[in-house]
Structure formats: structure tokens, C-alpha cells
Amino acid sequence: MTRWRAALSPSNCALLGAAALLALAPFVLPVYATTLATEALILGLFAMSLDLMVGYARLISFGHAAAYGLGAYACGYVLLHTALPMLGAIAAATLFAGVLAIGIAWVCTIATGVSFSMLTLAFAQLLYAVAFRWTSVTGASDGLAGIPRRPGPFGLALFDSRTGFYYLVLFCLAAGFLFCRALVSSPFGAVLRGIRENEAKTKALGYDTRRYKIAVVAIAYALGGLAGALYAPFAGFANTELLFWLLSGQVLIMVIVGGAGTLVGPILGAAFFLLASQILSAYTDSWALFFGLLFIAFVLFAPEGIWGLLTSRLVRPKARAATPDAAA
């Protein structure tokens, strides 16, 4: 009975309801809105990948765009220069970003705190410089254009259409969320939370905290690479802006605005960021200024983020109403 109550908690019911609405979205939304929703889901996966580092291990990365750009470039290059189908290219790009991240994490985790953050930024900018100058592979500032959505084996073209690709992205986000949720609920996640709260104590208990940090960085980069690999065939191009420090700052804002350490929050933060930027940019060229004011308001008045606001307003009142004192 207790397990059923936990499964039917208000937060889980809200997630199931949101999943049902997202599954029905292509049938009720106009074409442009469906395209925007697809991009929001890709950014949600990207932000959720960073939340594994920021929210659960307190590894603040200023260079997470490296994962996104690596995935996009790898997927785009494979689709343009090989006969591998789109799903194979996405899987290869995800694996490539995750494996390369092991080396990056090994170097970055030598340091802690701000030094770690600056090292991640340095690696991202190094990759940006390489992409900018490696014209034969990356196309330099022009990037890779005309990236196709190549059908799968036997001409299977389930994900070539706008609607089909939307469901591919939705499936990847749902699978990524379930994987991350299981990960943070496992003993591995408990060690990450120990690192976040008190790394010295966790190390004294016998855990090799650096190995855990390398592992979570690699996983986060793989998921970020998956988001980038989905973006390349979605947009049809990959350019150096996907590796630039500005994108790293934007995804960190998505995590903070949505609610760090929640997995769901960064997905909401990504959707909020994309929607707010679209609406504000329609009225003024200085939309970033107004979004900056919104970000400051969240930090000052709602540090728990969007998901924290929702759960505090919806879940806690119901929990209080269910207590014996409230019932009396």
C-alpha cells in the first residue's frame, strides 16, 4: 500500500499528466508550435544532463556546451560523410561525447570549486577554437550545413517527419529522465549527494570521490552529447555557436531557474527559457536584458526554482491536509 501511495503521489501524477499532454501535443499544436516544442525537449535533455553535475554533486560547470557541441558535430559529420542511419549516428555521437568526457573529467577533477568550473570553461573554449580552425572537418564559422535525417535500415523512415522526430526526441528525454532518476536513487546517487554535502566526510568513509566525479561528468556529457546529436538533424546544421561559452551560461540559467537537484526542474527551466526568449524577442531586441531581470528575480525570491514553487504550492498543502492534526 505504501508503495502504491508513493507511486500515486501528486508529483508523480503531475509527471504522468505532463507526459500524456506531451504525447498528444503534435495532434493539437500547429506546425510552428510543434517545432518549438521539439527544441524545448532537446534543451530540456541538455539542462537535465547538467543537473546531474550541478544539483547532485555540486560540480558547477561553465563549459557544458562542450558536450552539446561535440554531440552535434559528431552526429552531423557522421550523417554527412557516412551511410550510417540517423539513429546509429545519434548513438555514435552520444558514445563519443561520453568517452571523450572521461579524459576531460580526469583533468578537471584534479581541482575543486571555482578552479573546477574554470577548467571546464577552458576545455569548452579550447574545443570552440579547434572547431573554428579545423575547416576541413567542422566547416569553421560556417559549420556543417544540410545535415540529413537519414532513414533507418530497409528504408524505415519513422523519424524523418516533423511528428516522427518529435516522438524520437520525447522518447530520448523520457528514457534519459528515467535513467537519471534511477541513478540518483541508487547507492551511486547517495555518494554523489555525500560529495555535495561534505566531500571530506564522504572520502573519510572510504569512497574514492574523484572516481565518482569522473563518472558523473562522463554520464552528464553523454546525455548532453545525446541532446546535441538530436539537435543536429533537427536544425539541419551544427556550428561553433554550439560550443561557445554563452550556451554554457544559458543552460546553467535553465538549471537554476527550473530548480537544481530535481531533474524535472531543469526541463521546465529550458522550456521557460525558450518560451520567454521567443516572446521577449518579438517585442524588443534587448530581450536578454529583461530575461536577466527575470533570472535575478528567481534567484532572490524563488531560489528553489519553478519546480520548487510548484511542489511547495501543490504537494505540501495536500500533505498537511493528510496529517491527523489537519484531519481533526
Question: Total structural domains in the chain?
Answer: 1
The predicted-structure confidence for 264-301, as pLDDT tens digits, reads as follows 999 999 999 999 998 888 888 888 888 888 889 988 88
- DSSP calls for 190-233: HHHHHHHHHHHHHHHTT--HHHHHHHHHHHHHHHHHHHHHHHHH
Query: How confident is the model at residue 142, as a pLDDT?
Result: 83
Q: What is the mean pLDDT of residues 104-109?
A: 95
Give domain status of residue 143, yes or no. Answer: yes
Give domain status of residue 323, yes or no. Answer: no
The predicted-structure confidence for 231-277, as pLDDT tens digits, reads as follows 999 999 999 999 999 999 999 999 999 999 999 999 999 999 999 99
- Residue 108 CA from chain centroid, whole number: 20
CA–CA gap between residue 61 and residue 116 (Å, rounded): 7
Query: How confident is the model at residue 91, as a pLDDT?
Result: 95
Give domain status of residue 27, yes or no. Answer: no
Give 168's pLDDT tier (boundaries 50, 70, 90). very high
Identify the domain containing residue 116 by its residue range. 38-249
Give domain status of residue 127, yes or no. Answer: yes
User: Does pLDDT of 77 surpass 90?
Assistant: yes
Worst-scoring range by mean pLDDT, 65-79, 200-214, 239-253, 303-317? 303-317
Give domain status of residue 164, yes or no. Answer: yes
User: Does pLDDT of 101 surpass 50?
Assistant: yes
- Residue 318: phi and psi, rounded to 5, are -70, -35
- 282 or 186, higher pLDDT: 186
The predicted-structure confidence for 127-165, as pLDDT tens digits, reads as follows 999 998 888 888 887 889 999 988 766 555 677 788 889
Give domain status of residue 226, yes or no. Answer: yes
Question: CA dist 310 to 14, 43, 146, 261, 314, Å?
Answer: 10, 21, 41, 15, 6
CA–CA gap between residue 192 and residue 202 (Å, rounded): 9
Query: How confident is the model at residue 29, as a pLDDT?
Result: 87
Give domain status of residue 149, yes or no. Answer: yes
User: Does pLDDT of 326 surpass 50?
Assistant: no
Give domain status of residue 206, yes or no. Answer: yes
